[in-house]
């Protein structure tokens, strides 16, 4: 951070966000507290207290001596994406355009002197780089950047020139290949020398050398201003071409850019523009219409986020309450589209106004929020907190820590499965280290009707579909205990639907029983099932009821919450 912290800034919140940012920026998902101390410049004891607090808030997870970000961290980026209102209004149009053109389409917003992706509608083609929601590109290296730069103030242009000078090879942009190759290097070097020769004050336009990266970009900005569009002819890497148009809100401000991306094996930059522009323009019209029709947001809910205050009592000085409260404020700003007043923020978080105000000042100082006449608004920089990286987590990676905690509690194996055709398919599994255990691996399939997870998944279907399934599949008596008639299974599914769980006692394999509950998303839709499997000898009804079912339900709730957090704007599917 360049500017010094304002007096009112909340230091623990600054430090907590510094730790999350350092975790997100490191190429390895695992970090040791000592590494974090080095990267953030914080004292080791400070890192420990910050990490303890973040672990208790469910934002970091410790695994041995390592720390990892949890999917819950995506809640911050999700807060930005919800409050800006753009994905909600525009993503369906981007997806439709990608279908019509059969090319990748993206939406990006300006983020300081960078360009941040908020929607990706990719085509399944091998393209060397493909960007994720949350990735940040240097403005001068992509099509949207020149469009956004047409609106830069002198101060914003200076910020860009300073960044070019201090990071000529784009190492601060991990999503793009670093500038290499002699041409780029030479040009980057020339720019450094040129910029270094300017002693003080703002850098004059005349100081930019013809043929430099800076001069090329300024030329592209001029063209964007004149033509209203921008083209990327392999600025990121050989082969990648793109064309972008600005999307304006009803006030006429450019809020984002719509890009169509292709490859030189299919299009030159010029032929892509000719091919895509008519449909892109129609899409931009539809997008601008959608933005003009967005109704004013309803008032924010009374309480949206508040960490569990018992944590402070439990952990005493080891828990940084002002960090927890500040993160509540960040999340609260996502509860409503547009800006949120100080009074609403204080009400939503249950914090005194003075406390909420200091947290907001801190977020503003760090570039995560902007003060506007009607309150505070989240900024896309919030996505730097691990959004792109965490969006790549697989279902197994998301579920495994929760299954492991469950297994540690019940000492039996636990799994997550989805319905795949007429079967269930295992997507995550953690085995108990007992000698006698049930051995199944990820990818294993079983007929849904004969398994507890299959029964809760089938129970979630509308009744006609359940019956359809039972009539369509061949029912076998896999063991002497298997229910293999339509009426018996229809009763079992109705019971599972009513109870919210299912028990299968030696119906799939003799000596094996399994209890399952549904995993639901934030709308209560069943998206998967979780189970505990155990030898029938240990599966008494009492044990299952009293000691297995409650922690199984809790694990399923946590898995569902994490899956929903990851999928909320990325649309990622359970795999």
CB of 245 to ligand PHB, least distance (A): 11
Q: Which stretch binds ligand PHB (CB under 6 A): 24-32, 221-229, 237-245, 563-571?
A: 237-245
- Burial call 209-241: b when 16+ CB within 10 Å, e when fewer: eeebbbbebbebbeebeeeebbbbeebbeeebb
- Give CA 52 to chain center in angstroms: 23
Report the alpha-carbon angle 121-124-128, nearest 5.
Answer: 95
Residue number, 143 or 513, with CB nearest to ligand PHB: 143
In terms of Cα–Cα distance, which of 246, 249, 245 is closest to 85? Answer: 249
CA atoms within 13 A on the CB side of 339: 13
Question: Residue 126: in which H helix or E strand, if any?
Answer: none
Q: Which stretch binds ligand PHB (CB under 6 A): 142-150, 356-364, 444-452, 525-533?
A: 142-150
Question: Residue 445: in which H helix or E strand, if any?
Answer: strand 445-447
Tokens standing for 175? 């999503």
CB of 110 to ligand PHB, least distance (A): 13
Three-class SS state of 117? strand
* Chosen residue from 36, 74, 236, 512 binding ligand PHB by CB under 6 A: 236
CB of 244 to ligand PHB, least distance (A): 6
Tokens standing for 466? 């359940």
Residues 322, 311 contacting (CB under 8 angstroms): no
Q: Which stretch binds ligand PHB (CB under 6 A): 14-22, 206-214, 239-247, 553-561?
A: 239-247
Residue number, 143 or 378, with CB nearest to ligand PHB: 143
Residue number, 174 or 447, with CB nearest to ligand PHB: 174
C-alpha span between 287 and 283 (Å, rounded):
6
Strand 413-420 to 423-430 pairing: antiparallel
- Maximum CA pair distance of the chain? 87
Q: Which stretch binds ligand PHB (CB under 6 A): 235-243, 437-445, 525-533, 548-556?
A: 235-243
* Chosen residue from 42, 90, 136, 142 binding ligand PHB by CB under 6 A: 142
Q: Which stretch binds ligand PHB (CB under 6 A): 137-145, 200-208, 265-273, 486-494?
A: 137-145
Residue number, 56 or 220, with CB nearest to ligand PHB: 220
Residue number, 142 or 359, with CB nearest to ligand PHB: 142
Residues 518, 500 contacting (CB under 8 angstroms): yes
CB of 223 to ligand PHB, least distance (A): 14
Return the sign of the alpha-carbon dihedral for residues 52, 55, 60, 61.
Answer: positive
Burial class (CB in 10 A: 0-12, 13-18, 19+), 487: exposed
In terms of Cα–Cα distance, which of 513, 535, 568 is closest to 91? Answer: 568
Residues 482, 514 contacting (CB under 8 angstroms): no
Residue number, 229 or 564, with CB nearest to ligand PHB: 229
* Chosen residue from 131, 376, 449, 501 binding ligand PHB by CB under 6 A: 131
Binding-residue pattern over the window 240 to 269 for ligand PHB, x denoting contact by CB under 6 A: x-x-x--------------x-x--------
DSSP 299: P
Q: Which stretch binds ligand PHB (CB under 6 A): 136-144, 424-432, 501-509, 550-558?
A: 136-144
Q: Which stretch binds ligand PHB (CB under 6 A): 140-148, 149-157, 517-525, 567-575?
A: 140-148
Binding-residue pattern over the window 24 to 43 for ligand PHB, x denoting contact by CB under 6 A: --------------------
* Chosen residue from 31, 53, 83, 106 binding ligand PHB by CB under 6 A: 106
* Site size with ligand PHB, rule: CB under 6 A: 12
Q: Which stretch binds ligand PHB (CB under 6 A): 52-60, 153-161, 203-211, 232-240?
A: 232-240
Strand 136-138 to 502-505 pairing: unpaired
Tokens standing for 105? 């389409």
* Chosen residue from 18, 73, 143, 526 binding ligand PHB by CB under 6 A: 143
CB of 183 to ligand PHB, least distance (A): 19
DSSP 104: E
Strand 512-520 to 526-535 pairing: antiparallel
Residue number, 242 or 427, with CB nearest to ligand PHB: 242
Residue number, 141 or 337, with CB nearest to ligand PHB: 141
Q: Which stretch binds ligand PHB (CB under 6 A): 3-11, 236-244, 316-324, 368-376?
A: 236-244
Tokens standing for 472? 């369509």
Q: Given the structure tokens 């000596």, which residue do they identify?
A: 511
CB of 102 to ligand PHB, least distance (A): 15
Residues 122, 113 contacting (CB under 8 angstroms): no
Residue number, 131 or 501, with CB nearest to ligand PHB: 131
Contact status: 232 vs ligand PHB (CB under 6 A): yes
Binding-residue pattern over the window 149 to 178 for ligand PHB, x denoting contact by CB under 6 A: ------------------------------
CA atoms within 13 A on the CB side of 79: 28
CB of 289 to ligand PHB, least distance (A): 23
Chain residues 409-448 in contact with ligand PHB, contact rule CB under 6 A: none
Residues 539, 382 contacting (CB under 8 angstroms): no
Q: Give contact residues for ligand PHB (rule: CB under 6 A).
A: 106, 131, 142-144, 232, 236, 240, 242, 244, 259, 261
């Amino acid at each position: 951070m360049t500017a010094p912290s304002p007096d009112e800034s909340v230091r623990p919140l600054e430090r907590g966000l510094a730790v999350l940012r350092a975790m997100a920026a490191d190429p390895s998902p695992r970090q040791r507290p000592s590494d974090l101390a080095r990267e953030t410049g914080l004292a080791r004891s400070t890192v420990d207290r910050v990490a303890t607090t973040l672990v208790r808030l469910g934002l970091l997870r410790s695994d041995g001596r390592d720390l990892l970000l949890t999917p819950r961290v995506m809640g911050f980026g999700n807060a930005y994406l919800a409050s800006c209102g753009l994905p909600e209004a525009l993503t369906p149009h981007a997806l439709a355009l990608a279908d019509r053109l059969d090319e990748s389409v993206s939406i990006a917003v300006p983020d300081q002197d960078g360009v941040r992706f908020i929607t990706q509608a990719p085509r399944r083609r091998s393209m060397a780089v493909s960007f994720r929601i949350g990735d940040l590109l240097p403005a001068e290296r992509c099509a949207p950047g020149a469009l956004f730069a047409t609106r830069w103030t002198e101060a914003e242009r200076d910020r860009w020139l300073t960044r070019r000078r201090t990071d000529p090879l784009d190492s601060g942009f991990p999503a793009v290949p670093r500038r290499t190759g002699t041409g780029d290097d030479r040009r980057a070097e020339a720019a450094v020398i040129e910029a270094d020769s300017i002693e003080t004050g703002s850098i004059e336009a005349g100081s930019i050398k013809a043929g430099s990266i800076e001069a090329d970009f300024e030329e592209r900005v001029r063209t964007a201003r004149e033509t209203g569009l921008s083209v990327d002819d392999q600025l990121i890497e050989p082969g990648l071409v793109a064309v972008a148009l600005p999307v304006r809100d009803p006030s006429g401000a450019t809020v984002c850019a719509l890009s169509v991306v292709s490859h030189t094996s299919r299009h030159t930059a010029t032929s892509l523009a000719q091919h895509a522009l008519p449909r892109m323009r129609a899409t931009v019209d539809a997008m601008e219409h959608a933005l003009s029709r967005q109704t004013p947001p309803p008032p924010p809910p009374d309480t949206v986020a508040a960490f569990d205050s018992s944590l402070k009592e439990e952990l005493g000085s080891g828990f940084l309450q002002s960090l927890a409260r500040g993160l509540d404020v960040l999340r609260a700003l996502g509860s409503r589209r547009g800006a949120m007043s100080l009074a609403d923020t204080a009400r939503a978080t249950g914090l005194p106004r003075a406390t909420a105000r200091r947290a907001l000042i801190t977020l503003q100082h760090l570039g995560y929020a902007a003060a506007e006449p009607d309150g505070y608004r989240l900024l896309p920089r919030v996505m730097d907190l691990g959004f792109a990286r965490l969006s790549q987590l697989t279902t197994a990676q998301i579920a495994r820590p929760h299954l492991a905690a469950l297994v540690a509690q019940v000492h039996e194996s636990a799994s997550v499965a989805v319905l795949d055709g007429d079967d269930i398919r295992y997507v995550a599994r953690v085995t108990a280290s007992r000698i006698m255990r049930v051995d199944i691996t990820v990818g294993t399939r079983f007929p849904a009707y004969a398994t507890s997870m299959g029964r809760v998944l089938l129970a979630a279907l509308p009744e006609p579909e359940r019956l359809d399934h039972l009539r369509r599949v061949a029912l076998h008596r896999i063991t002497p205990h298997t229910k293999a008639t339509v009426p018996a299974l229809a009763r079992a599914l109705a019971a599972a639907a009513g109870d919210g769980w299912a028990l299968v006692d030696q119906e799939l394999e003799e000596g094996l029983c399994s209890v399952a509950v549904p995993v639901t998303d934030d709308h209560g839709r069943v998206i998967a099932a979780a189970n505990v499997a155990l030898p029938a000898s240990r599966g008494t009804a009492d044990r299952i009821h009293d000691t297995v079912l409650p922690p199984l339900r809790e694990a399923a709730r946590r898995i569902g919450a994490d899956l929903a957090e990851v999928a909320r704007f990325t649309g990622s599917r359970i795999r």
